[in-house]
Structure 1
């Protein structure tokens, strides 16, 4: 697809589906962070989570508006992804404040890496939007500091949080595979076909290697073994 060209046909359908899953992911992230703020130990921590939630909602509005600009109904675009994403969040509900922070940093980071990789194959407007909404909002430093401080106070929590991080990685990859497998248009976009050039098998392997390496760097930043 040439730079600046709006998607059409199967490409447009694939872009709308990708924006739909992203939009629902952002609004559920908003809800999750607002809920996690209730477990925050201090008012300052509550405020930090609230700011993160606001950023997620702003991202949602950008994605919703882009879907509408492509002539699609945002609610219908999100609908196929409600069940799988809700199921993911049920399976990865944090038990406490620290698990919530790790999920916000590590779990959301895995998803962001995956969507940025896929965005490289989209039209310029959609690609730039996805890169923008998946960019670090500046709150990661707060999460890293909070988790590292907790480990310094009680080193025993590191083992539990490391296991939690590995579980998030497995669940996130399983979710991505399930969504792609169940949505033919997204599968076609990933492996090539009518919706664009897609990835060859070697490139898919390299992509998941990059995502895994980024996950390991995030875990290390938190002071956790991956």
Structure 2
């Protein structure tokens, strides 16, 4: 890893594990919560795209002389904890998590990628591609809310919980991996505050796209 800037292995490692767990969770949600075979197939397709992204990251780590499993290992606890704390209870919660929860996590990694070499940044942008997840979730949730507007309140609360848990875990990861944190900011803790403010603003836009109220 001598030719790569400090923190690159951490960034690729956390993103690889995030993509692997996204694949597993989406596949599980498709089986457990999807109300129709069409929805199951659509979510399964999104899961397959996440696994393809994982493979790209795994191969990049290997090409840099880094053991992919070792690179992912520090992030297993925080990411597994986030998924355990935000396990969806039904189809609509699964959709909101796939869009809102995953979205703010990917914003976190995108912030880090602004400070790496061009090749790594291009790879990160490729694996962070939306792959239709956003439109799929927005379409399904919008239809559900038109059919039953009473769902709006609980889904808005769920979205707030997702962002709170995601930001908390992001802070834990940054604190535990100083070289990764160094990619997120270049100077003081004040910049970290601004970064998390940007993440929160992006979250608000996603919640509004679902037709929910972001809340305080």
Q: Under TM normalisation by the shorter chain, which class is it? A: over 0.9
**1:156 Cα deviation after fit:** 1.0
- Which of 16, 21, 24 is equivalent to 2:9? 16
Is 1:55 aligned to 2:43, yes or no?
A: no
1:188-199 aligned at under 5 Å gives the runs: 188-191=182-185, 198-199=186-187
Change (3 A) 1:18 1:33: same
Q: 1:34 aligns with which of 9, 19, 27?
A: 27
Match of 2:106 in 1: 112
SS in 2 for 1:94: coil
8 Å Cα contact 1:20/1:77 also seen in 2? yes
SS at match of 1:41: coil
1: distance between equivalents of 2:88 and 2:79? 15
Higher alpha-carbon deviation: 37-46 or 205-214: 205-214
- Aligned counterparts of 1:121 and 1:143: Cα–Cα separation in 2: 31
The corresponding residue for 1:135 is 129
Matched, 1:203 2:168: no
1:179 aligned to 167, 173, 184, which one?
173
Q: Which residue does 1:194 correspond to in 2?
A: none
TM-score by length of 2: 0.93
- The answer on whether the counterparts of 1:68 and 1:74 sit within 8 Å (CA) in structure 2 is yes
Give the total of aligned pairs: 213
Alignment of 1:89-168 (within 5 A): 89-168=83-162
Per-residue displacement from partner, 1:51-89 (whole Å, max 9, x unpaired)?
110110011001111111111000110111111111110
Check whether the contact 2:98–2:133 (CA below 8 A) recurs between aligned residues.
no
Q: Are the aligned partners of 2:112 and 2:180 in contact in 1 as well (CA < 8 Å)?
A: no
Q: CA deviation at 1:201?
A: 3.9
Inter-partner Cα distance in structure 2 for 1:145 and 1:25 = 24
What CA distance in whole angstroms lies between the structure 1 residues aligned with 2:121 and 2:103?
17
Determine the C-alpha separation between the residues in 2 that align with 1:124 and 1:47: 35
Q: Deviations over 1:102-137 (max 9, x none)?
A: 000000100111111110000111111111111211
Q: Distance in 2 between matches of 1:90 and 1:152?
A: 30
Deviations 1:1-23 (A, max 9, x none): xxxxx9637x24x1001110110
Q: CA deviation at 1:202?
A: 4.3
Distance 2:144 2:212 in 1: 12
